[in-house]
Structure 1
């Protein structure tokens, strides 16, 4: 970063650190103990839709890599597109397999990054729920290297529980690198990992 960048207020972008995903299992223990939210076993990686043979080959490689895991029998990774034009690679595990789910998310992100699709990666998320059925996702922003909670309300369309999100932020501040800029806590309506 040069002097002109400093004078103009430009900052160097944070390099993605996919290894931060491995903090999710310990954060999940904190979240369950403090707030009663347990992993659902669902997670997803979101990226800008990519067409072409190179992406299809990468998707087949990711599928083969994850299908090689014997515990995944009957739970293939699926590719879905949402109403906003983004693609999601969705992984499902049993709720007690959060470390394996995190491995899946890391493998998908790494494969896309290695094959040149890093600029299209947006976020990854892991789903949680409490006994009353409230949904929560811990979202990892690929380009920021940070996490934030997303808590959609079950009723009333596209509304979120901001108070719950702020509580989760406080509870997990010691476990995860939380995104400080609340304007970057983007809603992920209809995310298939929730």
Structure 2
């Protein structure tokens, strides 16, 4: 941010850091062994825009997903949610393939100049309850989200944070732990 931006009160969001997604690959060992959480899929959410450049990027993502998912046996689908955001939803028994495919999608959007359209990546886990680890691209940090009906299980979320704090770049400001209801993953 330049001096003129500071004087005029304008601020720029930091660029997304999709390479931080790979922290989840090593964290998965702790999640599965210490917390008995089993991977139930993943997804990436971004805001589509009406522009031919964006449609070209979306076509490239679809083609890359077809080729990549054939090699890794990952299944995927693309769908819009009720807010108009586009989701790429992935399932694979090999967790590393999920992380690599999410990175591929986010990197492709960034290469086309649409990195600001990225909202989040979501990793779904299960045991007795459903646990989501959400990667906020704007903050380049993870946070847990544990829905319990239309409430949050904050106690469990704080426990997850304390266990994973050394493994993942965790969002320190709890006010930025935005709940994502009705995640299609």
- Name the TM-score class by shorter chain: 0.7 to 0.9
1:24-173 correspondence to structure 2 within 5 Å? 24-40=24-40, 42-69=41-68, 70-73=70-73, 75=75, 77-94=76-93, 97-130=94-127, 132=128, 134-153=129-148, 156=149, 158-173=150-165
Call closer, same or farther: CA 1:106–1:99 in 2, change over 3 Å: same
Q: Which moved more, 1:143-152 or 1:8-17?
A: 8-17
Q: CA deviation at 1:12?
A: 6.8
Asked whether the equivalents of residues 16 and 115 of structure 2 are also in contact (C-alpha less than 8 Å), the reply is no
Asked whether the equivalents of residues 45 and 124 of structure 1 are also in contact (C-alpha less than 8 Å), the reply is yes
Q: Distance in 2 between matches of 1:179 and 1:90?
A: 24
TM-score by length of 2: 0.88
SS of residue matched to 1:175: coil
1:187 to 176, 179, 185: 179
Compute the RMSD of aligned alpha carbons.
2.4
Give the gaps of 5 or more residues in structure 1. none
Q: Deviations over 1:48-94 (max 9, x none)?
A: 2323432222122112212213345572x322111222221112212
Q: Distance in 2 between matches of 1:59 and 1:78?
A: 13
Call closer, same or farther: CA 1:167–1:100 in 2, change over 3 Å: same
> Aligned pair count?
184
Q: Which moved more, 1:169-178 or 1:23-32?
A: 23-32
Q: Distance in 2 between matches of 1:8 and 1:58?
A: 34
TM-score by length of 1: 0.84
SS of residue matched to 1:35: coil
Q: CA deviation at 1:2?
A: 6.2
